[in-house]
Amino acid sequence: MNTTKVGIPRALFYYQYYPIWKTFFEELGVEIVLSDHTTKSIMDDGSKTCIDEACLPIKIFHGHVMSIKDKVDYLFIPRFTSVSKKEYVCPKFGGLPDMVRHTLKDLPPVIDTEVNLRKSGKNALKAAYEVGGFFTKDRNKIKRAYKKALESYREFREKVKKGVLPCDILDKKLRKVKKYDVPNLNIAVIGHGYNLYDRYANMNLLDKLIDMGATIITVDMVDGETIKKHVKVLPKRLFWNFGRKAVGSSLHFLERDDIDGIIYLMAFGCGIDAFISDLIERKIRRNKDIPFIVLNLDEHSGEAGMDTRLEAFIDMIRWRYGNEGNVSAYG
């Protein structure tokens, strides 16, 4: 018997939740068809099809859908309204299945189950029942699959919190610990997971930094309690899950004395980045003299320009330490 094939675009929340989805579908005996890593043609297809005004990550998502839609029985595009209490993701995540459906033609059925944990985390199981319902009537089986999926997610999160990059876990990539003849730097990189871990979209930003002798610390590696503690200083609660985590982590980075520089990676056209990067920049500039840059990704970003800025940034940090004569952070 042929198994049912579910298509998952390797974009947006793939970088955050794939371990859940993978285990869940596999436990239900469903075959996953994952789109390839982003390529030029995926990005171009997405940009050509999507409305101009959409942000880069949404365009890339459309490109991924196009690359697998004809090979699968279902497309998995859940409607992520909220992944956390009293918080939202982004209006575009809430409308994603509708955007895709009305932009692309000849789609297989779309599994567009709403995930809305704004009021209660229990709604996650409800969503799981709905998704599982496409493949089996056995609710116990779905529940078991969901429990296992959560287990996989927990393992994934543990590794990330220990400092392993999510993209390395997802790609099963083992990094050799290289020896550098310069001292190691700790660089915090802030941004949406789908910008940080999509190597094509960000022109290999993380690998480049690592090659320059940096250890990368991302928002995903900061634990929830630490973030919670730090965002308390905000006069008004941030209602975007990413925004709250990003601001909380940044404040935490500012407090640590082993962080040598902070990079904010933002996507062109992202409404949330526009606010969050600005807020973070203000907090950083007000509180501490730490090297900080904002890098902007869009379809037309030139790799050379970004490389130059990165190198200048790292050089500047090293130069500072050279001048001060106190190299603080040996890896």
The distance of closest approach from Cβ of residue 157 to ligand SF4 in the complex, given in angstroms and rounded to an integer, is: 21
* Cβ nearer to ligand SF4, comparing 180 with 239: 239
CA gap 237, 276 in Å, rounded = 13
CA gap 171, 262 in Å, rounded = 25
DSSP letter at 295 equals: E
Say if CB 235 and CB 83 are below 8 A apart: no
C-alpha neighbours within 13 Å on the C-beta side of residue 203: 18
> Should residue 236 be labelled a site residue for other proteins when binding is judged by CB under 8 A?
yes
DSSP letter at 74 equals: E
Binding partner of residue 57 among other proteins, ligand SF4, none, CB cut-off 5 to 8 Å per kind: ligand SF4
Helix and strand numbers, DSSP H then E, in the chain: 14, 10
Window 112-171: residues binding ligand SF4 (CB under 6 A): none
The distance of closest approach from Cβ of residue 192 to ligand SF4 in the complex, given in angstroms and rounded to an integer, is: 6
Q: Which stretch binds ligand SF4 (CB under 6 A): 44-52, 90-98, 228-236, 305-313?
A: 90-98
The distance of closest approach from Cβ of residue 15 to ligand SF4 in the complex, given in angstroms and rounded to an integer, is: 12
Binding partner of residue 192 among ligand SF4, other proteins, none, CB cut-off 5 to 8 Å per kind: ligand SF4
Task: Identify the CA nearest to 173 among candidates 159, 191, 184, 153.
Answer: 159
> Exactly one of 10, 79, 157, 192 binds ligand SF4 (CB under 6 A); which one?
192
The distance of closest approach from Cβ of residue 271 to other proteins in the complex, given in angstroms and rounded to an integer, is: 4
Task: Give the tokens for residue 49.
Answer: 């099809």
Window 71-110: residues binding other proteins (CB under 8 A): 79, 81, 86-92, 94-95, 98-99, 102-103
Q: Which stretch binds other proteins (CB under 8 A): 16-24, 173-181, 215-223, 265-273?
A: 265-273
Residue with tokens 């279902």: 74
* Cβ nearer to ligand SF4, comparing 90 with 149: 90
Q: Which stretch binds ligand SF4 (CB under 6 A): 23-31, 53-61, 154-162, 215-223?
A: 53-61
Binding partner of residue 280 among other proteins, ligand SF4, none, CB cut-off 5 to 8 Å per kind: none
The sign of the dihedral angle between the CA atoms of 184, 186, 190, 194 is: positive
C-alpha distance across the termini of the chain, in Å:
53
Binding partner of residue 234 among other proteins, ligand SF4, none, CB cut-off 5 to 8 Å per kind: other proteins
The letter for the amino acid at 239 is F
> Should residue 90 be labelled a site residue for ligand SF4 when binding is judged by CB under 6 A?
yes
> Should residue 280 be labelled a site residue for ligand SF4 when binding is judged by CB under 6 A?
no
Task: Identify the CA nearest to 249 among candidates 267, 272, 223.
Answer: 223
The angle that helices 123-132 and 14-27 make with each other, rounded to 10 degrees, is: 50
> Should residue 206 be labelled a site residue for ligand SF4 when binding is judged by CB under 6 A?
no
Residue 7's beta-bridge partner residues? 33, 75
CA gap 165, 59 in Å, rounded = 24
By CB under 6 A, the count of residues binding ligand SF4 is 12
Residues that bind other proteins in the complex, under the rule CB under 8 A: 50-51, 53-55, 79, 81, 86-92, 94-95, 98-99, 102-103, 112, 114, 234-240, 269-275, 277-279, 282, 286
